[in-house]
């Protein structure tokens, strides 16, 4: 078994002093992993196609949730995320979910992002795949991403 690092001593080395301990002796490392905003005046556009082939466009008001995040794709070139891990809003999502992802790397890396509404609309799953220029999976890539989805807060 690998030797586990004493995080308290590691934090003290970074700070250059002993930790004060605070409330209950709890010390935490905080990392911002997501940003979110609810847009109250969003719009949904649908297209109705009749049996004759004619189509009609309809527009309606909706709430849109936009969440941006920072995720690490591991050694296999794949990461599976849940949108609920990156914001503090309640559940309730409707198709479609749109995702744009960008590798945060100096080399040529490509990202595939596959969103899906899961758990009967209670969450959005995003699967990230990272690829090297030759088509092989690219391991250990930091990815920034943004997801926009229709949001309907669930009231319990």
Listed by start position, the domains of the chain span: 32-151
**Topology (CATH level 3) of domain 32-151:** Immunoglobulin-like (2.60.40)
Cα dihedral 84, 88, 93, 99, rounded to 10, equals -60
Beta bridge partners of 80: 127
Residue 85 tokens, joined: 């891990």
Q: Residue 156 pLDDT more than 60?
A: no
pLDDT at res. 20: 63
More confident residue, 78 or 42: 78
Tens-place pLDDT, residues 81-116: 999 999 988 778 988 999 999 999 888 999 999 999
pLDDT at res. 1: 46
């Amino acid at each position: 078994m690998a030797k586990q690092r004493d995080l308290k001593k590691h934090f003290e080395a970074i700070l250059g002093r002993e930790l004060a301990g605070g409330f209950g002796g709890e010390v935490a490392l905080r990392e911002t992993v997501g940003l979110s905003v609810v847009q109250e005046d969003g719009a949904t556009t649908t297209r109705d196609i009749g049996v004759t082939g004619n189509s009609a466009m309809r527009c309606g008001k909706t709430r849109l949730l936009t969440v941006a995040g920072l995720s690490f794709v591991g050694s296999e070139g794949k990461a599976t995320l849940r949108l609920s891990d990156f914001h503090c809003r309640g559940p309730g999502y409707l198709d479609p979910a749109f995702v744009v992802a960008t590798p945060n790397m100096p080399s040529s890396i490509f990202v595939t992002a596959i969103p899906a509404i899961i758990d009967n609309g209670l969450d959005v799953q995003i699967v990230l795949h990272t690829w090297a220029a030759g088509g092989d999976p690219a391991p250990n890539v930091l990815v920034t991403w943004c997801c926009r989805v229709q949001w309907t807060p669930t009231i319990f």
